[in-house]
């Protein structure tokens, strides 16, 4: 757990880095833009449905329903969309962390082509939607406990986030014959749990994906540095 806390502290200390701020701004704009486009499309669909059903909701009624559904969608899907968007800017965060803390890794990492970024992003979205859908019945059964559903979803998303946030750096540095990340499973789970928790807090959830990507880079490159030192001995 110490390595995770250290990685988070270093990542938080680098949030003011111009390169990190640039990624934060771009990823937020694109993420919010995605939800805005979904809201516009939803309004058009609802307006058509109301008209076909002979219902007159009026602009204000349709607009209100659209806002409510869009806000709920943001609350439920923000993590999935934000991480999918961040995947396309992950290299910039990884390079910023490398240049400041791991200069020996800065020259060895490869820039991922767009096709690979897109593939990684789609796989991450698919995993998130599938796993959350699979545990949904369990969460429904635990509704009477009040806290049960939150624990289930945080647990699942901790596993997913821990993998995605460390893989962002690992994909840039792994060798062709490397199959597994050097980060320990419990470290990935702990990082994912912290970021999943931050995702539930208003405003903090806006910083959480970038903070997690930077911390994941520290965990990955720090573990890789230790691994290489062990091999050298």
Question: Is residue 57 pLDDT above 70, yes or no?
Answer: no
pLDDT in tens, 3-20: 899 999 999 999 989 989
Phi-psi region of 181 (alpha: psi -120 to 50; beta: other; left: phi over 0): beta
Q: Which pLDDT does position 213 carry in this prediction?
A: 92
- The shares of helix, strand and coil residues in the chain, as percent rounded to the nearest 5, are 85, 0, 15
The pLDDT tens digits of the residues spanning 73-129 come to 887 788 888 888 888 888 889 889 998 988 887 777 777 788 888 888 888 888 888
Dig out the tokens for 96 from the structure: 């910023």
Judge whether 4 and 190 are in contact, CB under 8 Å: yes
pLDDT digits (tens, 9 = 90+) for 180-204: 788 898 999 999 999 988 888 878 8
Q: How confident is the model at residue 230 (pLDDT cuts 50, 70, 90)?
A: low
Is residue 93 a contact partner of residue 168, using CB atoms and an 8 Å limit? yes
Confidence of residue 33 (pLDDT cuts 50, 70, 90): very high
Identify whether the C-beta of residue 153 lies closer than 8 Å to the C-beta of residue 135: yes
pLDDT top residue among 160 and 52:
160
CA distance 181 to 135: 26
Which pLDDT value is given to residue 25? 92
Distance, CA of 68 to CA of 1 (rounded, Å): 39
- Higher-confidence residue of 42 and 150: namely 42
């Amino acid at each position: 757990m110490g390595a995770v806390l250290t990685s988070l502290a270093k990542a938080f200390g680098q949030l003011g880095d111009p390169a990190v701020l640039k990624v934060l701004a771009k990823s937020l704009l694109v993420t919010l833009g995605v939800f805005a486009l979904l809201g516009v499309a939803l309004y058009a669909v609802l307006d058509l449905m109301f008209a076909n059903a002979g219902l007159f909701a009026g602009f204000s009624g349709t607009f209100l329903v659209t806002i409510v559904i869009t806000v709920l969608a943001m609350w439920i899907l923000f993590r999935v969309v934000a991480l999918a968007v961040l995947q396309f800017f992950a290299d910039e965060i990884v390079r910023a962390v490398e240049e400041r803390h791991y200069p020996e890794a800065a020259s060895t990492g490869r820039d991922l082509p767009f096709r690979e970024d897109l593939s990684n992003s789609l796989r991450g979205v698919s995993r998130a939607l599938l796993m959350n859908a699979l545990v949904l019945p369990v969460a429904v059964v635990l509704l009477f406990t009040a806290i049960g559903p939150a624990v289930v979803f945080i647990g699942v998303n901790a596993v997913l986030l821990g993998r995605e946030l460390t893989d962002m750096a690992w994909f840039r540095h792994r060798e062709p014959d490397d199959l597994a990340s050097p980060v320990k499973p419990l470290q990935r789970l702990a990082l994912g749990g912290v970021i999943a928790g931050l995702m539930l807090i208003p405003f903090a959830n806006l910083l959480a994906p970038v903070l997690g990507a930077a911390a994941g880079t520290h965990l990955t490159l720090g573990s890789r540095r230790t691994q290489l030192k062990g091999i050298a001995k």
